[in-house]
Structure 1
Amino acid sequence: MEAPVVNVGILTEKAVSFVFNAEYVHTETGTFLTGEQRALFVNGNIVFNGKLYKEIFFEPTSPDASFELKAVTIGVQFHWQRQEDQRFYGALNLVAGKEGIITINQVDAELYLTSVISSEMSAHASKELLKAHAVISRSWLLAQVEKSSILSASEKKYQSYYRDREQLIRWYDREDHTLFDVCADDHCQRYQGITRTSTPIVEQVIRETRGEILTDGKTICDTRFSKCCGGITEKFENCWEPVPHSYLTTVKDSQYEIKYPDLTNEANAENWIRTSPEAFCNTHDSAILKQVLNNYDQETTDFYRWKVEYTQKQLSELIHRKSGMDFGQIQDLIPIERGTSGRIVKLKIIGTRQSLIIGKELEIRRTLSETHLYSSAFIVDKKEVSCDIPQRFILTGAGWGHGVGLCQIGAAVMGAKGYNYKQILAHYFPGAEVEKRY
């Protein structure tokens, strides 16, 4: 059985420059093309070679043909955002969207996964870690394709936003994508084509796990992962839609039978975040971290426990700009609800002009940072308070990312300790089973 073909959204721009490194055919006209090409977005249309199109499809004439996209932005809205040229196998599809030309790569799922493993992590990571990641990346991808077909067949509009006078609750998931299966950035899974240098071990890992997915016995598991859980993983429903997944629950990231506190309790969460408990992901071993952190990720050094400090002026201006609402001077940031990892699900922002509860975790992280706060598992210390107005805020936090599912740094430590990939998967996705689908 062949692997499925997936559509990956790479970028949306007013002008797209690309290079065919081998022969491609423009399917509508039958024209064969090689070398540099350029398409422009004009009045809702794509202008290419002097003609107007709503959609253009370029098919490779050989399986090893590739194309290069110029100036692709990676790490969108993260602190290390930058541009790079990227090369891809497979077909190129250009679609006229509302904001510009949507550039889509149509590619074999296993080729896609070879890139994802090298993009999400170092291609030099341990074999067992890479195998675990191959299975969860494949599972997540096929679960999204399956979910897309269900959503498109449903008459009910998917809802990921709730707003009233007192609160704004929003979560960000790949249902935002309607013209392709998944995007190429951290919003989905990092996919940077064949730009990221793959290695023989990555290709071997993809071959050895070909078609392997995780299942809960009924459906393909929606396998999530983040950089560092901070010691305990989070439940799916606390970060995304309020639908529990049995295999995306609270996992203590440790080999020891430790009694962990209830981190939905504020006092327990504060003590947890202010300390540095034992956990797989509590490591400073540079050899292990290099397995998970690519060169740009290594710009982040403190992730298990971290601190961010703002002046009153910085924080009030930041929240105003990121939320679009003028709270005046910020008087307090109060956790209203915490998840099982200590991550804040709902946060109340109290200002001199207005107050509002915001959630879920990514909305909180985006509102309180120029890019993304490392996680929403944080506590707030107010300093130099005068007339109920703090002049400084110190956020002390735990973990990097949403904390749901596999903890990449914890899994790297497990691999270094001799756990095999099925043991790693069983740890982070309790009750799920590995199954070969093709």
Structure 2
Amino acid sequence: MSGKAFNRESIFGAWMGRAKRAAAIMVLATVCIPWSSGVHAAAAQEDIRVVIFADLGSKYKATVPAVTLKSSGGLSVGQNSGGSFQTWMGLPDSTARFSVDSYRVKVLEGNEAAAIKAAQALQKTNDKPTVFIGSKNGSSVYQVYAGIYASEQSAQAAVQRISSATGAQAEVKGNKHWSTGSYGSEQEANLVRTTIAAAGFDAFTVIQSRGQYAVWVGEESNDSKLLALKTELESKQPRLTLSKVNATQAGLIIRQEAGVTTGSQVMSHYMLSGSDNSKVIVNGGNNGVQVMERSQRTYRGEMEVGMTSGQLALVNEVPLEQYLYSVVGAEVYSSWPDEALKAQAVAARSYALAQGNRFQIGNVVDGTLSQAYNGKSSEHANVNEAVDATAGEVIKSGGKVVEAVFSSNAGGVTADASEVWNSGGEAFASVDSSGDTSAQKGAQEWYHVLLSSGKTGYIREDNAKELEGVTEAGLDKITVTAENTNVRPIPQIQSTVTPIAKAQPGEEIIVLEKVPQSGDYAWVRGPFTSAQLAKSLQGKVTGTVPSSINHLDVTKRGPSGRVLEVEANGSPLKVKYPDMFRSAMGGLPSTLFDIASTGSYTVLGADGATSHVSGTQGTQILSASGSSTSSGNGVIVMNEDRHARVIDKTQSFIFTGKGNGHGLGLSQWGANGLAEQGYDYKKILQHYYKNVDIVKD
């Protein structure tokens, strides 16, 4: 979905005494329970499940090696039973790290200085480091790991680049362990673990269920390494009774992070073992749960830490109406009229309920692939009131909840379903969306200008004044009011884009046209060179991409005027569905666009035939005094509507368009405009969605 109608560095230091602090941390009990046998459709439950991190293949992929969960009132870990949360463990330290027991790379094991050096070397790579502190052979030791990797093969592939980056002899580790048995308390398990570690082995205390602990030895990546470890264990610790840990057995491996990657804060780290059916539930109560790896956002509801495809999965289960507090606040401005906010609330609720089990372990994801969801940070009293005022209301067509897609701005007319994804249903048709112009309110206009150097660009109207008289072609002239006034490539201030030129007071500048500021309603993108467009087209169109694009033309449009077909050098560019032209053409805001070449123009002949003329070709221009040949930079051509543009010797393409987003269904800016005109939310929704009823479900 479209977002709002808007357009770690790790700290290394403070290390002394860390081992003592780690030893002082108390680790309490928790419980591991399986995922629900299936994710219930959101419509059949009070809560909605929002996937934050997971590897769901082609559906969704956002992964991190570990998550840091925090709550000002402390965290509790437990399970839901009989409709209520049952606490099994409290974390008074208020912050804890969670990951999964999967394949990883052990970079090195050594002293503090070596750990810092290795972690620093990996911090800016894709192989993110984690540093644990523990005890082996009777002394403190730092262990640096990288990853989580989905398979032993992918972990092995990472070994070479990690060894190269750090100079260490890295090795693959995994989730295969030996168990020494079960214990009734953590203290009892810790005594056994300490004895084994003193003999030089990696040993871990594990919580298997409430009041049940185990000690696991080793972290091998395959069975042959696990058998070799057993031989060594039996030779040095002959009194141990060892059994192979079931790979599907749920458990929490208790470790301590040294603070290298956690801002010098030593904290408890829990590694979830088992299969894709394992999870732990973390609750922050009324204070919510803060996820440091998601821009430090705080979320209502509870967090489920689980595993999918060998990677960490984090799901936020939250009451649907509270989820909407965040979604509506992220999607539109809280200052908008109440009726616009209510319309957005009903559309967002309908969209969420229509998703069912789309994402396997959740109903929706937290980004615009579903709906923008930023936790409590995007909530506002006005928005919450609008959600509450429409509680339970949804859009239905034919007795079913409509998947009420929406976008930021339709550019004056919404899309027909055939113009977006080739399908949509009876609820979607192209309609007028004149309220979209509300996005331009208060915005400056810009002059599209031709400089004496032959360059073209844009100057904002408040930085210029008009001059008397016009050019021979009837074009206005301006000059700027301040020294070194920026001439920008598009009618918008872009702090990261260098101006194309600086204009000076007194300099006579030709005005080609006056245009709105580039934003959600009207926009300009480019110029894009042939090479840039060819690169952008790769992987987004079927068939061969031209090595050089000389001509680019819109050859077919849909009911709303959106682009359905584009030809490059006379051959159609094939895409899976029309909305893909946005990404194929370098990330355009919408498909309601026109294309202009900076290096050519089209001539309509007397017989109705058209031909392309490039800026490098001599062109006969008929004037009152006769004909002459024009060739080179800065040639102005004008159409029958007296729209002027400049032709030069470069071959680039400029896109001008309207709207922001796919344009199907509700236009957020359009809804704002209609609300300002006095429409209530039901009339707004029934304007944008056809053959529908607004009902309380």
With structure 1 as the length reference, what TM-score do the two structures score?
0.72
Aligned with 2:286: secondary structure? coil
- Report matched runs for 1:160-309 at 5 Å: 177-196=359-378, 198-240=379-421, 242=423, 244-253=424-433, 279-283=434-438, 284-286=440-442, 301-308=518-525, 309=527
* Higher RCO (Cα < 8 Å, 6 or more apart): 1
Residue of structure 1 aligned with 2:342, choices 128, 131, 140: 131
Residue of structure 1 aligned with 2:534, choices 308, 312, 316: 316
Paired residues of 1:124 and 1:199 also in contact (CA < 8 A): no
Task: Find the aligned partners of 2:673 and 2:88 in 1 and give their Cα distance.
Answer: 52
What are the ranges of 5 or more consecutive residues in structure 2 without an aligned counterpart? Answer: 1-42, 54-61, 81-86, 101-146, 152-174, 176-252, 254-268, 444-492, 495-516, 601-613, 618-648
Alpha-carbon deviation of 1:301? 4.4
Match of 2:235 in 1: none
Task: Find the aligned partners of 2:539 and 2:679 in 1 and give their Cα distance.
Answer: 46
Task: Find the aligned partners of 1:426 and 1:192 in 2 and give their Cα distance.
Answer: 28
Match of 2:689 in 1: 429
Task: Find the aligned partners of 2:554 and 2:307 in 1 and give their Cα distance.
Answer: 42
Paired residues of 1:331 and 1:390 also in contact (CA < 8 A): no
Q: Kindly tell me: are residues 65 and 226 of structure 1, through their superposed partners in 2, closer, same or farther at Cα, counting changes over 3 Å?
A: same
Match of 2:666 in 1: 406
Map Cα deviations across residues 176-197 of structure 1 (whole Å, 9 max, x no partner): x33321111112110111122x
Q: Percent of counterpart pairs with the same letter? A: 24
Aligned with 1:101: secondary structure? strand
Amino acid at match of 2:684: I
Task: Find the aligned partners of 2:427 and 2:272 in 1 and give their Cα distance.
Answer: 51
Alpha-carbon deviation of 1:413? 1.2
Q: Kindly tell me: are residues 99 and 133 of structure 1, through their superposed partners in 2, closer, same or farther at Cα, counting changes over 3 Å?
A: farther
Map Cα deviations across residues 231-281 of structure 1 (whole Å, 9 max, x no partner): 111123432253x4222111112xxxxxxxxxxxxxxxxxxxxxxxxx211
Task: Find the aligned partners of 1:212 and 1:189 in 2 and give their Cα distance.
Answer: 18
Q: Kindly tell me: are residues 301 and 39 of structure 1, through their superposed partners in 2, closer, same or farther at Cα, counting changes over 3 Å?
A: farther
Match of 1:420 in 2: 680
What are the ranges of 5 or more consecutive residues in structure 1 without an aligned counterpart? Answer: 73-83, 149-174, 254-278, 288-297
Alpha-carbon deviation of 1:51? 5.0
Match of 1:32 in 2: 90
Aligned with 1:318: secondary structure? helix
Q: Kindly tell me: are residues 2 and 391 of structure 1, through their superposed partners in 2, closer, same or farther at Cα, counting changes over 3 Å?
A: closer
After TM superposition, the structure 1 stretch with the greater mean CA deviation from structure 2, 56-65 or 244-253, is: 56-65
Amino acid at match of 1:23: L
Task: Find the aligned partners of 1:220 and 1:301 in 2 and give their Cα distance.
Answer: 36
Task: Find the aligned partners of 1:234 and 1:423 in 2 and give their Cα distance.
Answer: 19
**Does 2:269 align with 1:52?**
no
Amino acid at match of 1:7: R
Task: Find the aligned partners of 1:345 and 1:359 in 2 and give their Cα distance.
Answer: 11
Task: Find the aligned partners of 1:7 and 1:225 in 2 and give their Cα distance.
Answer: 21
How many residues get paired?
356
With structure 2 as the length reference, what TM-score do the two structures score?
0.47
Aligned with 1:49: secondary structure? strand
Match of 2:67 in 1: 17
Paired residues of 2:330 and 2:374 also in contact (CA < 8 A): yes
Match of 2:559 in 1: 340
Amino acid at match of 2:292: K
After TM superposition, the structure 1 stretch with the greater mean CA deviation from structure 2, 310-319 or 229-238, is: 310-319
Amino acid at match of 1:228: N
Paired residues of 2:594 and 2:656 also in contact (CA < 8 A): yes
Q: Kindly tell me: are residues 31 and 88 of structure 1, through their superposed partners in 2, closer, same or farther at Cα, counting changes over 3 Å?
A: same
**Does 2:512 align with 1:357?**
no
Alpha-carbon deviation of 1:144? 1.4
Paired residues of 2:554 and 2:566 also in contact (CA < 8 A): yes
Q: Kindly tell me: are residues 366 and 436 of structure 1, through their superposed partners in 2, closer, same or farther at Cα, counting changes over 3 Å?
A: same
Task: Find the aligned partners of 1:396 and 1:99 in 2 and give their Cα distance.
Answer: 45
Q: Kindly tell me: are residues 52 and 350 of structure 1, through their superposed partners in 2, closer, same or farther at Cα, counting changes over 3 Å?
A: farther
Alpha-carbon deviation of 1:228? 0.8
Aligned with 1:132: secondary structure? helix
Task: Find the aligned partners of 2:63 and 2:588 in 1 and give their Cα distance.
Answer: 27
Q: Kindly tell me: are residues 364 and 102 of structure 1, through their superposed partners in 2, closer, same or farther at Cα, counting changes over 3 Å?
A: farther
Amino acid at match of 1:32: G
Alpha-carbon deviation of 1:9? 1.6
Aligned with 1:194: secondary structure? helix
